[in-house]
Amino acid sequence: MYKEQIIKQLYYSDRLSCTDLSRLIHKSIPFTSATVNELIEENVLIEEGLATSTGGRKPHVFSLKPDYFYIFAIAINQLNTRMAIYDLTGNSIVPIQSISIPLPGNPGALETITEYAKQMLLSSNIDTSKVLAAGVGMPGFINLKKGINHSFLKVKSGNIIQYMESVLGIPVIIDNDSSLVALAELRKGLARGKKNALAINIGWGVGLGILLNGELFRGENGYAGEFSHMALFNNNKVCSCGKIGCLETETSINVLLDKAKEGIANGKFTTLPNPLPAEKIVAVQEIFNAMAQGDQFSIGLLSEIGYNIGRGISILIHLLNPSLIILSGIGAGAGKLWLAPIQQAVNELSIPKLAENTEIKISELAGDAELVGAGTLVIDHLENFDLNKVQLMMKE
């Protein structure tokens, strides 16, 4: 058990000393040192030399052997899927693949995604026995215990996990995309060391990952964090969930695109191309580029959407009193332009005493957060896998 804990902590932190590891796994330094030596003998860890020190004896630091095993990460959103094969330093050992696969109205989406994943594994020339598992993030109402997505990716029999495992030949773990964004921020992003934080996943919807007491909170069946579907507006707009006036109807990247197209059609002065590119992700990047160049029309659209996100965030502050709120996902590509309108809404709508210690920051992981979280999901479940199989394979 403690070997797995050491591997986890080194994956999250890259390089640590025995003293650091002892503190993190809550065991004595002699016990930790002995376990580290065993892992070095088993070819799991490597010694990286001496750490920098402000005084006193410099400690030896250790890291994971990058190719001890690999992790397959799959990040699915409503319009496209990204895939990476990570080593234990968090580097993708083959180019990250991005495939346009829409989920709405596409009953064959799971089969298509899984076939692409299979081909990526085969073309990587990695022995699948060295791929510990696949972590898969996806949008929708996901029952983690049953392996079912009630929104997308239907299967004819069994569940998503069983289907993907039968095709890929490796273990599979699934989770909600916004939960994985939060997990990425907790383990490798801005929420490291934070007890109570929230990650807002700004994409084709607006998801929420909740971190409470230093742990990812998923709720009873994994449905916690459906930020998109809080009914806040009297706008008569039908949400993707079927209700009217949800947060998503005024705040998603889809809304940004629709408003940009409407403004261009109505002759608004803008540097945006007319028409915008047909592929949505390319069109979004065009809008972000225009914002970076000071296009007032594009910035105005983002400000309006940001204020509405801030309305929802004000409710979250009142309910959860987080120390940090991280803006992540595809939308984080717009950077700091989100901060002013969101903060304005928080200032206007939140009780000052509740909001005074809550910081709002832009994710450094941004559009890669779900992919990083999918890889981290595997490491978080390390105790569920048989590392002895990897050890035997390495010795052979």
Instruction: List the chain domain ranges.
Output: 2-64, 70-180+371-395, 191-364
The CATH classification number of 70-180+371-395 equals 3.30.420.40
Q: Which helix (H) or strand (E) holds 167?
A: helix 160-168
Strand locations in the chain (E):
16-17, 45-50, 60-64, 70-76, 80-86, 97-100, 131-138, 142-143, 148-149, 172-176, 197-202, 206-212, 215-217, 324-328, 359-362
226-229 contact pairs (CB < 8 A, 24+): 226/141, 227/178, 227/200, 227/312, 227/316, 228/252
- Phi and psi at residue 99, to the nearest 5°: -125, 135
| Overall pTM surpassing 0.85 (yes/no) | yes
* C-alpha to C-alpha distance for 74 and 173, rounded to whole angstroms: 10
351-391 pLDDT, tens digit each: 999 999 999 999 999 889 999 999 999 999 998 887 766 54
Report the candidate in 147, 61, 76 with the shortest Cα–Cα distance to residue 106.
Answer: 76
* Strand 131-138, strand 70-76: pairing: parallel
Common-topology check for domains 70-180+371-395 and 191-364: yes
Cβ-based neighbour number of residue 169 at 10 Å: 12
- Phi and psi at residue 124, to the nearest 5°: -75, -20
- Phi and psi at residue 317, to the nearest 5°: -60, -40
Q: % helix / strand / coil in the chain, to the nearest 5?
A: 45, 20, 35
C-alpha angle 121-124-129 in degrees, rounded to nearest 5 = 60
* C-alpha to C-alpha distance for 121 and 52, rounded to whole angstroms: 39
**DSSP conformational letter for 363:** -
In CATH terms, 2-64 corresponds, of 1.10.150.530, 2.40.30.10, 1.10.10.10, 3.50.50.60, to: 1.10.10.10
**Tens digit of pLDDT at every position of the chain (396 positions):** 789 999 999 999 988 999 999 999 999 999 999 999 999 999 999 998 776 665 567 788 999 999 999 999 999 999 999 999 999 999 999 999 999 999 999 999 999 999 999 999 999 989 988 999 999 999 998 888 889 998 899 888 899 999 999 999 999 999 999 999 999 999 999 999 999 999 999 999 999 999 999 999 988 877 888 899 999 999 999 998 889 999 999 999 999 999 999 999 999 999 999 999 999 999 999 999 999 999 999 999 999 999 999 999 999 999 999 999 999 999 999 999 999 999 999 999 999 999 999 999 999 998 899 999 999 999 999 988 877 665 444 333
Non-local CB neighbours of 115 within 8 Å, separated by 6+ positions: 167
The CATH superfamily holding the domain 191-364 is: ATPase, nucleotide binding domain (3.30.420.40)
* Strand 142-143, strand 215-217: pairing: unpaired
* C-alpha to C-alpha distance for 247 and 389, rounded to whole angstroms: 47
